[in-house]
Amino acid sequence: MTKIVGVMASERIVAGLVEGNQVMGPVRVYPEPGSSSEGLYGVPAEEIGELVRRQIELVTGGAAVEAVGIGFAGIIRDGRIEESPNLQQTKGFYLQGALGNAFQRVLVLNDADAMAAGIAATHGKLESLVRVWTLGDGVGYGRYPQAEGVWEGGHIVVTLDPKDKFCGCGGVGHLEGIVGHAAMRRRFLDMEPDEVFAEAKAGDARCASFVRLWHRALAAATATSIHLDGAGKFYLTGPNARFVDVERLNVDLHDMVRMSPLQGSLFEVVPTSDEIAIIGAAVSADRARFSL
């Protein structure tokens, strides 16, 4: 069976060997669990490339592999990191080129796209359109199959309120500026996001109104995706998927999408998993192998 290495690099690196849509053997994690390291924040781009190469070699033990797929947080084009809001030092870094000497075939893709491919592969949906929102510090939008374009869905404008400027990219009115963890901390300087959601449940009016906005923002960006790309299944993952009330989200979405051919979209929460992401990066590299 084809052996491919899948890697995800965001605030940390995870890597594993993938065979037949399954991770074989242990998953490598950098920095190792329990380490006091800050992960990749502030690590120079070339050094990140080197760390990725080392994780891949630890996974393969030096044996040859058919391809390497790397999901990376940011806008990726032709193997180059054009922008990475959370790892800004990597802007312009040609990661695919930096690894091209060490491995035969390397594909670098957006981390949320890798996640979408992983969900497609592990849910038997490799022939369907799969979209995923990754809810963490930022908000990622992944699409499988990968399509030409930028697809920065986390920065879809969901409000015209000029005061809504909490997005890390600096843009006004963005989805991530409402839904992203870092943005919620900027909005509620006196409360952590977990407290905001707990207080909303306990009846606090300000928190409850924000939780309504939070769901409507996610529904609005999903509605935009449906109006551009059609109805379908939307998966929600990442650490903050735990805040999602799927029922409320479906009601909000229903209000926002009324044309009959666009009805019938659904949300599903998928537990955050390094393995699904690794499988997705590997499957994408495998599928790209024939067109590289």
The answer to whether residue 171 forms part of the interface with Zn ion (CB under 5 A) is yes
Q: How many residues bind Zn ion (CB under 5 A)?
A: 5
Residue 264 CA to residue 26 CA, distance in Å, equals 39
Strands 67-72 and 4-9: parallel
Name 13's bridge partners: 9, 30
Rg of the chain (C-alpha set):
19
Shortest CA distance to 271 belongs to which of 235, 231, 223?
Answer: 235
Angle, vertex CA 116, rays to CA 83 and CA 70, nearest 5? 50
The answer to whether residue 150 forms part of the interface with Zn ion (CB under 5 A) is no
Q: How far is the CB of 252 from Zn ion (least distance, A)?
A: 21
Choose which of 24, 58, 147, 169 interacts with Zn ion (CB under 5 A).
169
3-state secondary structure of 117: helix
The answer to whether residue 143 forms part of the interface with Zn ion (CB under 5 A) is no
Quick one: which segment of 92-100, 155-163, 192-200, 218-226 binds Zn ion (CB under 5 A)?
155-163
Shortest CA distance to 235 belongs to which of 272, 282, 263, 264?
Answer: 272
Binding mask 216-245 for Zn ion (x = CB under 5 A): ------------------------------
The answer to whether residue 215 forms part of the interface with Zn ion (CB under 5 A) is no
Q: How far is the CB of 155 from Zn ion (least distance, A)?
A: 4
Determine the distance from the C-alpha atom of residue 91 to the mean position of all C-alpha atoms in its chain, rounded to a whole number.
Answer: 18
Choose which of 117, 135, 167, 276 interacts with Zn ion (CB under 5 A).
167
Nearer to Zn ion, 31 or 171 (CB): 171
Judge if the upstream peptide bond of residue 31 is cis by omega within 30 degrees of 0.
Answer: yes
Nearer to Zn ion, 147 or 169 (CB): 169
Residue 19 CA to residue 23 CA, distance in Å, equals 6
The answer to whether residue 174 forms part of the interface with Zn ion (CB under 5 A) is yes
Name 4's bridge partners: 18, 67
Quick one: which segment of 13-21, 25-33, 50-58, 171-179 binds Zn ion (CB under 5 A)?
171-179
Under 8 Å between Cβ of 265 and 219: no
Quick one: which segment of 44-52, 54-62, 167-175, 189-197 binds Zn ion (CB under 5 A)?
167-175
* Burial zone of 272 (CB within 10 Å; 0-12 exposed, 13-18 middle, 19+ buried): middle
The answer to whether residue 155 forms part of the interface with Zn ion (CB under 5 A) is yes
Quick one: which segment of 30-38, 56-64, 128-136, 152-160 binds Zn ion (CB under 5 A)?
152-160
Q: How far is the CB of 128 from Zn ion (least distance, A)?
A: 29
In the window 19-78, what residues touch Zn ion (CB under 5 A)? Answer: none
Using the structure block, give the residue that is written with the tokens 């802007």. Answer: 91
Q: How far is the CB of 156 from Zn ion (least distance, A)?
A: 9
Sites of contact with Zn ion (CB under 5 A):
155, 167, 169, 171, 174
